[in-house]
């Protein structure tokens, strides 16, 4: 594999497992030094960092709760300190709390917005102070920003749809600095939190997904790597869907 990201410095918020871990591994394979954050799965996070280091790059796992603004800013500052700068920010942390409107708790609404929306803004605000021309910001959104085909997902869908507006606006703010910002909207992806072997997955594969399968984390990471690389220098303010036909 070509090393399009040779010596780039990346922070992946929420990079310990699932899609985030796949992004860390892909960045490392392409030559980027990576810091990743985690909340509770320290062993998984350290394992992802160890795997990244096998590609001959620096990799470090640090604990940071995306619901805590101070910890998000500290993660950016530590990345800049450890790697002597930052070129790429990936906002991959996210939570999905599903419940019907009558039962949805206010504390769950607040945490969803804190992690899925506020943390993205805070991390971006902190990172762009150090980014130079050619900087890249990529948010992991969701195809549910465009389509929510079952009940109970309104708050999650709202949080991911909010990133569309945020990215369109920030593309204007950051374009004059030569920094791009985009969303990646994955469809159902095979992770430990959303396995492709579940009964729910069977329904999606049979009735919703045009390709009749879940994505792998590596497939999502490939699109993120493209947006982080030199060939995507003219892509900004976009929300790119990679969903196996979920929204088709």
And the tokens for 142? 């969701």
49 touches 60 (CB < 8 A): yes
Is it the case that residue 143 has pLDDT exceeding 90? yes
List, in order, residues 6 or more apart from 37 with CB less than 8 Å away.
11, 12, 13, 14, 15, 16, 45, 61, 62, 63, 64, 66, 75, 93
| Mean pLDDT for all residues in the chain | 96
pTM of the model as a whole: 0.96
Please tell me the distance from the alpha carbon of residue 158 to that of residue 187, in angstroms, as a whole number: 16
- What mean pLDDT comes out for the span 170-182? 98
Q: What is the pLDDT of residue 200?
A: 87
76 touches 3 (CB < 8 A): no
- What mean pLDDT comes out for the span 165-185? 98
Q: What is the pLDDT of residue 207?
A: 86
Owner of token pair 């945020």: 166
Alpha-helical runs (H) found in the chain: 18-29, 42-53, 69-83, 106-113, 119-127, 154-175, 199-207, 217-228
Out of 46-55, 167-176, 187-196, pick the least confident: 187-196
State the catalytic residues. 156
Give the three-class secondary structure for 89: strand
Q: What is the pLDDT of residue 193?
A: 82
Please tell me the distance from the alpha carbon of residue 101 to that of residue 185, in angstroms, as a whole number: 24
DSSP state of 117: I
What separation in angstroms does the CA of 101 have from each of 70, 98, 145, 173, 242?
31, 9, 18, 35, 28
pLDDT tens string 13-63: 999 999 999 999 999 999 999 999 999 889 999 999 999 999 999 999 999
pLDDT tier for residue 203 given thresholds of 50, 70 and 90: confident
Domains and CATH numbers, the chain: 9-242 (3.40.50.720)
């Amino acid at each position: 594999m070509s090393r399009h990201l040779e010596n780039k410095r990346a922070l992946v918020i929420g990079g310990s497992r699932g899609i985030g871990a796949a992004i860390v591994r892909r960045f490392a394979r392409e030559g980027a030094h990576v810091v990743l954050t985690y909340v509770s799965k320290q062993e998984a996070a350290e394992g992802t960092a160890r795997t990244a280091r096998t590609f001959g790059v620096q990799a470090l796992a640090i604990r940071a709760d995306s619901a805590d603004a101070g910890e998000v800013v500290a993660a950016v500052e530590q990345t800049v300190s450890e790697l002597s700068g930052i070129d790429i920010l990936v906002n991959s942390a996210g939570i999905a709390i599903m419940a019907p409107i009558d039962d949805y708790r206010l504390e769950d609404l607040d945490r969803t917005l804190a992690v899925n929306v506020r943390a993205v803004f805070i991390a971006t605000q902190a990172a762009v102070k150090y980014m130079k021309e050619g900087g890249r910001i990529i948010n992991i959104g969701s195809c549910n920003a465009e389509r929510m085909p079952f009940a109970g997902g309104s708050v999650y869908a709202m949080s991911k749809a909010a990133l569309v507006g945020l990215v369109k606006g920030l593309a204007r703010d950051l374009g004059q600095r030569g920094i791009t910002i985009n969303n990646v909207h994955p469809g159902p992806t095979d992770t430990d939190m959303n396995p492709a072997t579940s009964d729910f997955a069977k329904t999606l594969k049979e009735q919703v997904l045009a390709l009749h399968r879940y994505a792998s984390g590596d497939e999502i990471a490939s699109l993120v790597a493209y947006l982080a690389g030199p060939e995507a220098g003219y892509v900004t303010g976009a929300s790119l869907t990679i969903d196996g036909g979920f929204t088709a």
